[in-house]
Structures are given as structure tokens and as C-alpha cells.
Amino acid sequence: MAAPDQPAFSQEGARRDADPPVPLLYRDAMMLVIDKPAGLPSHRGPQAKRRVIPVLTDHLDALRFGLPRRPEAAHRLDKDTSGCLVLGRHPRAMAQLNQLFRDGRIGKAYWAVVEGGPADEAGLIDLPLARRAPERGWWMKVAPDGLPSRTRYRVLGRGESPSGPLAWLELEPLTGRTHQLRVHGAASGWPLLGDEIYGSSPREGGPGLQLHARSIVIPLYPKREPVSVAAPPPAHMQASLALCGWRSCLTES
């Protein structure tokens, strides 16, 4: 297996070369891992077609790093979710990454700040999900006849805000349904802070969705340890995380 085309740099906030258009967390000959900013759509879908707004696909040519083809996203993050996003650098890499995602072999952990919080310190949410309306494929609900959907959670800290108690959670999606973490949180009685669809956040002037793809573990190379990458918490989450006991020094451990 070819060695990385430059040393891996999965330390949080690490950057190389001239500043890329989005923060780059890791690079080798097969893949990139970027820190997708919250608010950046992955592609120019229906919401972006009539507006001139940046989307991730606008930046992919600048992430070729000498290869003839631009990279492609191997999975998706919602527009308002920040953090680790894996890009395959060529068709062979995409085929291998897609298979790993299909097989559930990619380890993913998210950080979320939620309103209230679970009574237990850890647990499993097992609630099937289905579309709420056929014309809105992204709008989901808990439904007995829906697709199996499971999320493991762990409480990392608790705090108090002027509007009530908060909890800082680590969420591990064991399935990959649309809006799974957001719907599971709301259905469990602790909606994600800043969620204007499934929670109580206003459409305008809210704190921003408090959901961050914190880390990812990718067993891409059979004869090497899995690639493990972490993304630092975004600026719009740091105040609420701090209320729950997060300190910036913890991101270096």
C-alpha cells in the first residue's frame, strides 16, 4: 500500500500548504478529511438553486492537490452540521470508502448540546424512522413501520443556561438515516439546541444547530492502523459546551 503523499495531520486544527478553502484535517493518496463548516451545503440542491450561496462542490477543484480529478464526498453531513467529512480522491478510493460506509465499518462520533438531557449517563435509542411527507424526503418522524434506526449516546457533561438545563452528549449513529440524531434526540425528550425543525429554536436568531461530527475512524488500509481524525468544536458551539464543562484543553487529549 502506498504511503501517504505527505505526513498525516489529524491533530485538530492542523493545516498544511496554502490555506485550503475549507479546513483540512487529513490528507493521503486515497482520501481527504475536511472540517466542514456549519451552514455549508454539500451540493447545490433545491434550496440553493435560486440563490448565490457557497456550497462544498464549489471548492472541490481547489482540493485536488495535483491529481487530475477533484475529490468527491464519500458520505453526507447536513448543511447545519459541522465537522469531519471524508472525500475520496479518485474512483478506486471512492469505491473502497463507499463499501466501508455501506458495511458500517466507519466509526463516527458526534458531539451535541441538547436541551434538558437524558436521565441515564449512557444508553441506546432504538426508534425506527420514516419520511414525514413524500414531497419532503429530508423531513423525518418516528414510525413503527419505518426503517430500523439506532443511536448510542453518552453524557460528557451537564450544565445550566438561562433558559434551562443542558447536556453535552457524544452520539454514535449505528445506522445512517436522514436527520437521525436530531429526530432521536427530540423523540427522547431532549431536542438538540438550535434545532429549528425538530426542536424549539426560532427560525431566525437562534444559536445555530449544536451538532458536530467530532471524529471519524476509517479502516481503509488492511496493513495499517485505521485512520483516526478529530475536528475541533466550532465557534458557535463553544459557549454552550463550556456551560456543560468543556474546556479547550480537552480537545488536545
Q: Is the pLDDT of residue 253 over 80?
A: no
User: Any catalytic annotation for residue 103?
Assistant: no
d(C-alpha 2, C-alpha 5), whole Å: 8
Q: What is the extent of the structural domain holding 88? A: 24-247
In a domain, 128, yes or no: yes
In a domain, 11, yes or no: no
d(C-alpha 182, C-alpha 163), whole Å: 20
In a domain, 96, yes or no: yes
In a domain, 30, yes or no: yes
Instruction: Kindly report, residue by residue over 75-117, the tens digit of the pLDDT.
Output: 999 999 999 999 999 999 999 999 999 999 999 999 999 999 9
Averaged pLDDT score across all residues of the chain? 88
End-to-end alpha carbon distance in the chain:
29
In a domain, 9, yes or no: no
In a domain, 52, yes or no: yes
Taking Cα atoms as reference points, which of 115, 112, 94 lies closest to residue 151? 112
d(C-alpha 123, C-alpha 171), whole Å: 10
Q: Would you state the pLDDT for residue 14?
A: 41
Taking Cα atoms as reference points, which of 115, 176, 113 lies closest to residue 150? 176
Q: Would you state the pLDDT for residue 169?
A: 98
In a domain, 85, yes or no: yes
Catalytic residue (one of 17, 19, 35, 78)? 78
Instruction: Kindly report, residue by residue over 21-50, the tens digit of the pLDDT.
Output: 899 999 999 999 999 999 999 876 655 455
The domain that holds 237 is classified in CATH as 3.30.2350.10
Domain count, the chain: 1
- Name 11's Cβ contacts closer than 8 Å, sequence gap at least 6: none
- Name the grid cell of 89: 480522491
Instruction: Kindly report, residue by residue over 154-171, the tens digit of the pLDDT.
Output: 999 999 999 999 999 999
* Number of neighbouring beta carbons within 10 Å of residue 211: 29
In a domain, 252, yes or no: no
Q: What is the mean pLDDT of residues 103-132?
A: 96
Instruction: Kindly report, residue by residue over 189-238, the tens digit of the pLDDT.
Output: 999 999 999 988 777 767 899 999 999 999 999 999 999 999 999 999 99
